[in-house]
Chains A and B, each alone.
Chain A
C-alpha cells in the first residue's frame, strides 16, 4: 500500500497532460524518487493506454464518414422535415408531451379511463330540462301543453272529490252513532279542502268543467259550514247537513262525476 502523501488526484491529471508546468515538474521529480508512486502511476498509465485503443477505433469511424457531403445531406433533411423553427418547436413539445404516454401503457390506460369516466359522469349528472339562456332543443306545441294541463286539472278535481267523499262519509257515520257521539269529523280537514278548492277554481274555469265545478261548489258550501263548527258536532246541525247531502244526492253525483273524470284521463 502506497503511503506517500503526494496528492493522488494529480496522477490522472499528470498522465493526461492536464497539470500546469510547475505541478508537472514537481510530479515528475517525485516519481523519479518514489517507487510506490511510480508503480501506481504505471498502472494508471496502462489503464489509460486502453483509452488510446478506443481512440483508434473512433478515428477509424471518423475516417469512414464523407464529411464533405454530410453537411448538405443533413441540411436538406432538416430543412425538409423541420419546416420553420417555431413549428418544429411546437412539434417537439407535442412529442415530449405524448412520449411518456406512448412509452407507458399504464399511464395511457389511466388517462383513457379518466376521459371515459369524465364523459360518463357528464351524461349521468346532466340535469334534464331547460336552462336559463340556453336553447335545449326541446319543443312542445301549445296544443300539447293545453292537453297536459287539462289532464292535470282532471286529476286534481278527482282527488278533491275523493277526499270530500271521505269527509262526508265520516260525517254520516258520526250522525249514525247518534247525536252527541264522538265527532269523527275534524273541521281541520274541511279547511284543508277549502284551500284546495281555491286553487282548483282557476283550473275548473279555464277548462270549462261546468259539471265538476257545480258539484265542487256545492261541496264547498257544505265545508264552509263544517269549518265554522268547532268541537263536538251538534246533532241538529249534523242532521241538517245530512239532509242537505241526501236531498241533493250529493254522494251519487260525486260518484258520477268521478267516473266521468276517470274515463277522460
Chain B
C-alpha cells in the first residue's frame, strides 16, 4: 500500500513540495518518505560511478544529508528527481576522485615490485568477466559528460529528458553525448571484442 501511495506522491509535484517544506521543519516521516521513493535510483547512480557497494551506500547517505540541508533551495518548477540525481552524481564524482587519489598515493608509496603490472592484467583479459572489466575501463575513459549520459541511460535506465534535467543540458545535447560515448566505446573495445573494422 505504501508503494502505491509513494508512487502517487512521486507523480504529484505539489505533494513533493509539501514534503520538502515539512523536511525543512525537521519532519522525520516526510524525510523517510522521500528516501524510500528515491533511495534505489540514488544508489544505482552512485554505484554506476563508484562500482563499490559500501562507497555507493555512503554516497546515498551523503546525498540525503545534502537534501536535508538544502531542501529549501529546491525550485518547485524544476524536476525534483533531476535535482536529486544531480546532487547524487556530484557527490559520487567527488567521492570517486577522492578514492582515485588515495589509490594513486597508495600505488606510488608501494615498492615497484608490488605494483600490479599491465601485462598481468592483459593476460587475464580473455575471459568474459574481463571483457566486462575492459568495458568498464572503456566507460571510465570516456569524457565526463559522455560517461554521465551513458551511465544514466544504460545503468540508471533514465530517459533522455530525465538525463537532460539531471545534467542541466538540452535533450539534443544529451543524445549527442550518448552517440559520442557509444562511438568511442566501439572504437576502443573493437580489439577486445574480436571485431574487425
What is the interface of chain A, defined by CB distance below 8 A to chain B?
8-9, 11-13, 16, 18, 43-44, 46-48, 50-51, 53-55, 57-58, 61-62, 64-65, 67, 70-72, 74-75, 77-79, 81-82, 84-85, 88-89, 92
Q: How large is the interface on B (under 10, 10 to 19, 20 to 34, 35 or more residues)?
A: 35 or more
CA distance A71 to B186 in the complex (A): 40
Chain B residues contacting A88 (CB-CB under 8 Å) are 65, 68-69
Q: Is the interface of A mostly helix, strand, loop or mixed?
A: helix
Q: Which residue of A lies closest to B72 (CB)?
A: A85
Within 8 A of A (CB), among B135-167: 135-136, 139, 150, 153-155, 159-160
Contact of A78 with B190 in the complex, beta carbons under 8 Å: no
List B residues at the A interface (Cβ < 8 Å).
Answer: 23-24, 26, 28, 31-32, 35-36, 39-40, 43-44, 47-48, 53, 56-57, 60-61, 64-65, 68-72, 128, 131-132, 135-136, 139, 150, 153-155, 159-160, 175-176, 178-179, 182-183, 185-186, 189-190, 193, 195, 197
Q: Is the CB of A46 within 8 A of B28?
A: no
Given A13-B175, A44-B182, A64-B53, check contact A74 B61 (CB 8 Å): yes
B190 nearest CB neighbor, chain A only: A43
Complexed CA–CA distance, A78 and B136 (Å) = 33
The answer to whether B43 and A12 touch across the interface, beta carbons within 8 angstroms, is no
12 example contacts (A-B, Cβ-Cβ < 8 A) are as follows: A51-B155, A53-B128, A53-B131, A53-B132, A62-B40, A62-B43, A65-B57, A67-B36, A77-B61, A85-B70, A88-B69, A92-B69
The 7 closest A-B pairs by CB, nearest first: A50-B135, A71-B35, A12-B182, A88-B69, A51-B154, A71-B32, A53-B132
Given A53-B131, A88-B68, 6 more A-B residue pairs with CB atoms under 8 Å apart are: A18-B153, A70-B57, A70-B60, A74-B35, A81-B65, A85-B23
